[in-house]
Amino acid sequence: MKASENILDKYKIPISGLSTGVHEYMFLLDDDMFSYFKHPDVEKGSVTAKVILEKRPTVIELDITMNGSLTVQCDRCLETFQYPIESEEKIVYTMGKLEGYDDEEIVIISKEQSFIDLTNDLYEIAVTQIPISKIHPNDAKGKPACNPEMLKILEQYIITGESTPTQKLSDIL
């Protein structure tokens, strides 16, 4: 077995022998996962995903609660920082058509399917928490937590009129 297959194997839940009722799982989305998918903005991460699975005869409902942080690069000062994420999602798996679930993501599965592979879902939920503009949050004093040296360079550009306060260092360099 290749290493990459090993990395993703841990995000699978066996369902064929699973009894009806509620089951709980914990997954860790780690550096291995984020480096595997090679997301352009997310280098690393440490996110826990608690999955509450309810199995009924033809429906499997998943409530996924995510908490953790992703390592991203600040658009303003280009240093990396930990971006905290928090998310709750529901995924419904059904064997056949299902009424009454308009808002939820519905995945149709066959009776023969022996496991649910959450790799892509967990990854997608985590990385879609990243905003389009990734900027260091302010510190306790309300000052930007950006690299001060980089901020100085940025300010010089603003003063000389080559940039506007809304522009980012990544646009200039």
How far apart are CB 66 and Zn ion at their closest, in Å?
Answer: 24
Q: Are strands 105-108 and 80-94 parallel, antiparallel or unpaired?
A: parallel
Cβ pair 57, 20 in contact under 8 A: yes
Of 25-84, binders to Zn ion (CB under 5 A) are 74, 76-77
End-to-end CA distance of the chain: 44
Nearer to Zn ion, 122 or 136 (CB): 136
How far apart are CB 137 and Zn ion at their closest, in Å?
Answer: 9
Tell me how many residues contact Zn ion (CB under 5 A).
5
How far apart are CB 151 and Zn ion at their closest, in Å?
Answer: 8
Beta bridge partners of 28: 48
Nearer to Zn ion, 29 or 77 (CB): 77
CA distance 135 to 127: 16
Q: Specify the residue for token string 């001060």.
A: 148
For 69, the token pair is 């942080």
Beta bridge partners of 82: 71
Applying CB under 5 A, among 51, 66, 146, 169 the residue interacting with Zn ion is: 146
From 23-31, 124-132, 143-151, 156-164, span contacting Zn ion (CB under 5 A)? 143-151
How far apart are CB 168 and Zn ion at their closest, in Å?
Answer: 9
Indicate the burial class of 123 (C-beta count within 10 angstroms; 0-12, 13-18, 19 or more): buried
Nearer to Zn ion, 119 or 147 (CB): 147
Nearer to Zn ion, 72 or 127 (CB): 72
Indicate the burial class of 64 (C-beta count within 10 angstroms; 0-12, 13-18, 19 or more): buried
Nearer to Zn ion, 77 or 91 (CB): 77
From 35-43, 86-94, 105-113, 128-136, span contacting Zn ion (CB under 5 A)? 128-136
3-state SS assignment for residue 67: strand
How far apart are CB 24 and Zn ion at their closest, in Å?
Answer: 38
By CB under 5 A, name the binding residues for Zn ion: 74, 76-77, 136, 146
